[in-house]
Amino acid sequence: MARLPRLIIPHAPHHIVQHGHDQAAIFRDAEDYQQFLVWLRDSARHYKVLVHAYQLLPDQFQLLATPSDEDGLGAALQRTGRYYVPWFNRKYGRSGSLFSGRFKTSVIEADGFFLQCSQYIEGVTGADSADPLAHSWSSYAHHIGLRTDPLITDHALYWALGNTPFQREARYKAVCEQALTVAQIAVIESAVLKGWPLGGAAFKAALARKAQRQVLPAKRGRPAKVAVVDSVPD
């Protein structure tokens, strides 16, 4: 069966995941993280993609971002890779691909799921929300007011947390002190790894109408048989 193209909805937040090839490291030292963020920021601005949250790990990166059109998100990540991969290969004397195929993405229903997804991407659990040093290469420190991250454009739902920066930062930290449940994590991970939307039934139905394509997995098994009627009673 042919693979469906990615579902990209302009002006909607998307959860993006990109792994290293064969789970290999894509970041090895601080310079790697810093250089990647520089090119990602430049590419996101070039293609008008708003980045709301991120986390860089040794073998992957995750983003929460809103594209302004259907092509900008892919173009921004492709442009970032065109700069970063040759630079990384030269630095470490390697060749070939660095990333594992296509990035994975899931369209997010903002109401009800945006803050959960932001917390998940930043890797914050209740146990470590008080230790921003555990998230050196994420947007968490930005959201709790320890630094200003030039890559980040805060989403309207983050602004709605309070009327002042202090209120927003304190409220976001309080949100992150409530660890996501196992069920919440499973739903977020399943959606992005399979490329399906993250949201309620009404949101998914509206997406299908807007995109005029399948946005949910097809039901397994053969179609139900239809009974044959020999005659119709009067």
Residue-wise pLDDT for 150-206, tens only, equals 999 999 999 999 999 999 999 999 999 888 999 999 999 999 999 999 999 899 888
Residue 224 domain-assigned? no
CA 52/CA 54 separation, integer angstroms: 7
Query: Which tokens hold the place of 116?
Result: 């959960």
CA 63/CA 41 separation, integer angstroms: 12
Q: Which residues contact 6 (CB under 8 A, 6 or more apart)?
A: 74, 102, 105, 195
pLDDT band at 214 (very low <50, low <70, confident <90, very high): low
In this predicted structure, the answer to whether residue 106 has a pLDDT above a threshold of 70 is yes
Residues in the chain: 234
Structural domains in the chain (count): 1
Residue 230 domain-assigned? no
Residue 121 domain-assigned? yes
Q: Specify the CATH number for the domain of residue 45.
A: 3.30.70.1290
Q: Residue 84 CA to chain centroid, in angstroms?
A: 20
Strand order in the sheet with 14-19: 49-57, 60-67, 14-19, 104-107
pLDDT band at 226 (very low <50, low <70, confident <90, very high): very low
CA 18/CA 121 separation, integer angstroms: 12
Residue 138 domain-assigned? yes
Residue 221 domain-assigned? no
Query: Which tokens hold the place of 198?
Result: 């993250």
CA-based torsion, 172, 196, 26, 181: positive or negative: positive
| Domain of 57, in residue numbers | 14-211
Residue 204 domain-assigned? yes
pTM reported for the whole predicted model: 0.87
Residue 217 domain-assigned? no
Residue 81 domain-assigned? yes
pLDDT for 209 = 82
What value does the mean pLDDT of the chain take? 88
In this predicted structure, the answer to whether residue 234 has a pLDDT above a threshold of 60 is no
> Quick one: average pLDDT of 85-103?
94
